[in-house]
Structure 1
Amino acid sequence: MTRLWVSISAWRGVNATVHLIAIFATIFRLHHRYRLRRLWWDDYWAGIALLFSFGYFATVWMRRDVGDPSLGRKEAVALFWMTTTFFPCEVWSARMSLAFSIIRLIPERAIFRRRCMYALATIFGMMWLALILEKLWVCASDSSWTHTVAVQCLLGNAVGIITLCTDVISDTCLIIIPLFMLREVRIPVGQRRLLLAIFCSSIFSSLAGVIYAIFVFRADNLGVKRGLLISLTANIKAAVTLLVCNMLVIVTYFYRTFRRGQDLETDHTPVEPSKPAPVPASGGNHYTTTTDMSSVPTFETTSTFDTSPRSAPTNPTMTSSKFVNTAGTPLPTITETDTPSPSVATASVIVDSRPHFTKSAPA
C-alpha cells in the first residue's frame, strides 16, 4: 500500500469544516424545536451529541504534527484518550437521536412497534458501551504506544471488525425500519420520496465508517502519519453521523418554508367539494344542502284534524289522509272512519325533499 501523507494544516482545515457544518446544523435543529416547543428525547440526544462534538472539535486545535516538541508526551497521551472517548460518544449519541426520531413517528397506539424501537435503542447503547470498553482494554493493557514517536495506540483488526459490524448493523436498521414504516403510511408520493431520501442518508455514515475501518486495518502501512490519517477519517465519520441525524428536521423545515406545505410533485387532481347553496323559504328561514336530490319525487300531504276545544272529551283524530305525488303518479288514499267534529279546519302542508322547501300556513 502506498504511504499517504497529509499536512497538519490540511488536516485541521478538513476537520474544522466538517465539524462546523455538523455543529451549526445541530444548533439550528435545537433552536427550531425549542421555538416550536416540541423538544423530545431525539432532540436531547442530539444535544448530547453536540456536547461531545464540541469536545472532539477542540482536539483538532490541540493536535500537533508528528515530532512537534510543543506538545509534551503526557499531553499527547491525554489528547489520545480524549479523541478515543469523544469519537464513539458523538457517533452513538447521534444514532440514538435517529432511533428516537423514528420512535417519535410511530403512533402511540402502535405499542408493539414502539417497544421494539426502544429495545433497538437499548441495543445501540450496549454497542456503544462495548466499543468504548474494548478500546480502553486494548490501549490500557499495553502502554508501549505511549513511548512511540506518533503516540498513537494501534487498535488492531479486532477493534476494526467490531466497529465495522456495529456500524453496518446500526445504520442498516436505521434505514430499513423507516422504509418498512413508510410502506404502511398513506402520504403523498412527493413527501414519501422526501422521507425515504432523508432516512437513506444514513448510508453516508456507513460509508464513512467503512473508510475509517479500512484505515484502522491498514494502520501498520501508514507510516508515522497514521495517527493523523486515522483521526481524519474518524472526524469525518463523526461529523457526517451528526449531520445525518439532523437531516429530518432541517430538510422538513426548508421543505415547508419554500414549498409552503405543497407536495414535491402534483400527481393527482384535487376534487372540489360541493358548495352548499342557500335557498330562502317563506317565513324568513333558509335551508342549505350539499346533496343533489332533484330526482327524488315530492309529495303533497292533505290531512284533516279535529280542532274542537280542549274541554271536549274527544281526542284529535285524523279522518282522512291523501298522498299525491306532484310528479304526476297517483298514490293510494288511506282513510280512517271516525266521528266527525262540528268544527273542522283543514291544514295543507307541502313537503319538498329537494333543496327547495315551501310551507303553507292556515289562512
Structure 2
Amino acid sequence: MVHTLVQLKITSAVCSFFAIALTCLRLYLRRDRYWWDDACAFLSTVFLLLQVAAVFMHLQDPRVLTHLDNIAAYYIMAASFYAIIWTARLAILYSVIRIDPNPKTRLILHRVGVVFIVVLGVMIAQLFWVCEPLPNWKNAVSPQCPLDKQVAICQLVTDILADLLLIAAPLRLIWGMSAEDGTRKRLMVIFSTSLVTTIVSLVHAALILSDAGAKVVIAALVE
C-alpha cells in the first residue's frame, strides 16, 4: 500500500511538473497573443493542480483524513483526469482552428469543440452513475471505485475518435506546407502530441478492462 502510494505521488509529481512547465513556457511565448487554445491549456493546468492535490491527499495512514475526505479525494482525482485530458484536447483543437485558413473547416472544428465539451460532461457524469450504486468500495481504507467495462469501452471509443480527429486535422494542413514553414513545425508538434496521447489512452483503457488496480491510476496520471 505504502509503495503504491509512493509510486502514485512520484508519477503525479514528475508528469505534472513537466506538463505545468511546458504550459507556462507556452503561455509565456504566446503572451499578448492569447486565444482560446491558450485558455484551454491554462484551464487544463488548473485541473492538473487540482488532481495533484487530490493525489497527495492519499496518505500512508488514510485515517488522518475523514472517510468522506478520502472518498472526495478519489472523485476529485478521477473527475479531474477527464477534465485535464479533454481541455488539453480542446487546446490542441483550437490550436488547429487558429492556424487553419479555411473558414468552413474552422466552423466544423468549432462544432467538434462543442462535442468535446459534451463528452467531458458525460464522462464525469458516468463516473458517478457507475460508482454511486456500488457502495462497497467506499468502505475501503483507501477508497477506489472499481470502474467497469462500460467506462473502459466508453473511454476507449471517445479517446480513439477524438485523437484520430486531432491527428488528421493537423496532418491535412501539414501536407500542403514546405518543410521550412514555421507553422508546419508547430503542426508537427500537435500531431506528435495527439499520437502519444492516443497510445497512452489505449494503455489506460486496457488496464481498466483488465482491472489492474493502481496501474489504472498511474496510467491516468501519465496520460
TM-score after normalising by structure 1:
0.57
Identity %: 24
1:75-94 aligned at under 5 Å gives the runs 75-94=69-88
Larger radius of gyration: 1
2:48 equivalent to 1:53: yes
Assess, with a 3 A threshold, how the Cα gap between structure 1 residues 60 and 149 changes in structure 2: closer, same or farther. closer
Assess, with a 3 A threshold, how the Cα gap between structure 1 residues 146 and 57 changes in structure 2: closer, same or farther. same
Per-residue CA deviations over 1:284-328 (Å, capped at 9, x if unaligned) read xxxxxxxxxxxxxxxxxxxxxxxxxxxxxxxxxxxxxxxxxxxxx
The residue that corresponds to 1:104 in the other structure is 98
2:145 equivalent to 1:153: yes
2:53 equivalent to 1:62: no
Superposed displacement of residue 85, structure 1 = 1.6
- Greater helix content: 2
1:161-310 aligned at under 5 Å gives the runs 161-185=153-177, 187-188=178-179, 194-195=185-186, 197-201=188-192, 202-219=194-211, 222=212, 226=213, 228-237=214-223
The residue that corresponds to 2:119 in the other structure is 127
Assess, with a 3 A threshold, how the Cα gap between structure 1 residues 196 and 26 changes in structure 2: closer, same or farther. closer
- Partners of 2:20 and 2:52 lie apart in 1 by 9
- Partners of 2:133 and 2:143 lie apart in 1 by 15
Superposed displacement of residue 131, structure 1 = 0.8
Assess, with a 3 A threshold, how the Cα gap between structure 1 residues 42 and 192 changes in structure 2: closer, same or farther. closer
Superposed displacement of residue 74, structure 1 = 1.6
Assess, with a 3 A threshold, how the Cα gap between structure 1 residues 15 and 217 changes in structure 2: closer, same or farther. same
Q: Which letter maps to 2:111?
A: A
Q: Which letter maps to 1:188?
A: A
The residue that corresponds to 2:37 in the other structure is 42
2:26 equivalent to 1:29: yes
The residue that corresponds to 1:357 in the other structure is none
Q: Which letter maps to 2:215?
A: L
Q: Which has the higher contact order (CA 8 A, sep 6+)?
A: 2
What CA RMSD, in Å, does the superposition of the two structures yield over aligned residues? Answer: 2.2
- Partners of 1:172 and 1:33 lie apart in 2 by 27
Contact 1:46 1:93 in 2 (8 A): yes
DSSP-derived class of the 2:63 partner: coil
- Partners of 2:150 and 2:108 lie apart in 1 by 29
Assess, with a 3 A threshold, how the Cα gap between structure 1 residues 111 and 98 changes in structure 2: closer, same or farther. same
- Partners of 1:25 and 1:6 lie apart in 2 by 29
1:13 aligned to which of 4, 7, 10 = 10
Superposed displacement of residue 11, structure 1 = 2.6
Superposed displacement of residue 156, structure 1 = 0.1
Contact 1:6 1:229 in 2 (8 A): no
- Partners of 1:170 and 1:157 lie apart in 2 by 19
- Partners of 1:14 and 1:140 lie apart in 2 by 28
Contact 2:167 2:191 in 1 (8 A): yes
- Greater strand content: 1
Superposed displacement of residue 196, structure 1 = 5.4
Superposed displacement of residue 126, structure 1 = 1.7
TM-score after normalising by structure 2:
0.90
Superposed displacement of residue 140, structure 1 = 1.8
Contact 2:55 2:77 in 1 (8 A): no
Contact 2:9 2:55 in 1 (8 A): yes
- Partners of 2:69 and 2:108 lie apart in 1 by 44
1:304-319 aligned at under 5 Å gives the runs none
Listed as ranges, the gaps of 5+ residues in structure 1 are: 238-363
